[in-house]
Amino acid sequence: MSLEDAANAVRTFLKVIEEAQDMRTARATGSVLDEVLQHAKELLDIVEAELQDLDRSKHASLIAA
């Protein structure tokens, strides 16, 4: 996996988490929020796989995100 793939996965994950936070702020509940959170979970799995092959000290800021 490439550094670019890892960065893209992290950016997408953070956008979905922000969307879920906005929904919670608006007091959203139910299946739509559940779907967004499930999507975030799937993206987190991808992010973890992408980051696994990176040098943790060299790419610390990306891993911290």
Computed on alpha carbons and rounded to an integer, the radius of gyration of the chain in Å comes to: 13
Helix axes of 31-52 and 3-25: crossing angle, nearest 10 degrees: 160
- Residue 37 near residue 30 (C-beta atoms within 8 A): no
Coil/strand/helix, residue 5: helix
- Residue 15 near residue 36 (C-beta atoms within 8 A): no
- The first and second tokens of residue 14, run together, are 């953070």
Q: Going residue by residue through the chain (65 aa), what tens digit of pLDDT does each one get?
A: 677 887 888 899 999 999 999 999 999 889 999 999 999 999 889 888 878 877 888 888 877 87
- Tell me what pLDDT residue 57 has: 86
